[in-house]
Chain A
Amino acid sequence: ETGVTQTPRHLVMGMTNKKSLKCEQHLGHNAMYWYKQSAKKPLELMFVYSLEERVENNSVPSRFSPECPNSSHLFLHLHTLQPEDSALYLCASSQGTNTDTQYFGPGTRLTVL
């Protein structure tokens, strides 16, 4: 596989469930990102990891918990979500330089009932 992959592509969960989103990059990049994309809103940066260290955490509720076990894998653990958390969750990776390109995965469409 090439590029950035995300699983699952679609997820429906109740507010009391616990689930995890997975992202894998095959580009040899050092940085990985989680974004939330909601309709008619800008992409919201949630978390950034560089070489497995969290370098950005943008006031995201604690019901979202990221994990980066190595530079190729990134997880987003979800628990007790709210309906307003329904959105497209995008993972991206980059080299981690000032003018590098972010490569995005296809996203996970999350619906919270």
Chain B
Amino acid sequence: QQQVKQSPQSLIVQKGGISIINCAYENTAFDYFPWYQQFPGKGPALLIAIRPDVSEKKEGRFTISFNKSAKQFSLHIMDSQPGDSATYFCAAKLGTYKYIFGTGTRLKVLA
């Protein structure tokens, strides 16, 4: 019940296209949902995050859509660029310190 299921495992998108990554959870006690971006040789870096009382949050080309009733949330990357090629992780937070991460999506944006 503490899992976060992430899909797809890998994604190839043309430059300028929309990249969509989905996550689903079961535990309704999760109260904060961040997305992280990780480049090779680097640690994950926070990209954007949302609380469950908000249905959508947008920051630049990155948007989180949150569906509380379906217990799903997704990351949309508009106008995808080759520099967006990285691994993306969704996560769900339980309490103050516990983060549960998805398995990651490896995104490749073709030039």
Contact = CB atoms under 8 A, between A and B. Distances in A.
Nearest to B41: A106
B1 interface: no
A56 B97 contact: yes
Given A104-B43, A107-B43, A48 B97 contact: yes
Size class of the B contact interface (CB-based, 8 Å): 20 to 34
Contact of B44 (A40, A45, A98, A104): A104
Interface in A28-81: 31, 33, 40-43, 45, 48, 50, 55-56
Interface stretch (B12-20, B64-72, B78-86, B99-107): B99-107
Interface residues of A, number: 25
A98 B103 contact: no
Contacts of A99: 32, 49, 51, 93
Interface string B27-41: 000011010100001
Contacts of B99: 43, 45, 102
A97 B31 CA distance: 12
B101 A42 contact: yes
Contacts of B97: 31, 33, 48, 50, 55-56, 96
Contacts, number: 64
Interface of A: 4, 31, 33, 40-43, 45, 48, 50, 55-56, 90, 92, 96-99, 101-107
Interface of B: 4, 9, 31-32, 34, 36, 41-46, 49, 51, 89, 91, 93, 95-104
28 contacts: A4-B43, A31-B97, A33-B97, A40-B103, A40-B104, A42-B103, A42-B104, A43-B44, A43-B99, A45-B99, A45-B100, A50-B97, A90-B44, A96-B96, A96-B97, A98-B32, A98-B95, A99-B93, A101-B34, A102-B46, A103-B46, A104-B36, A104-B43, A104-B44, A106-B41, A106-B43, A107-B42, A107-B43
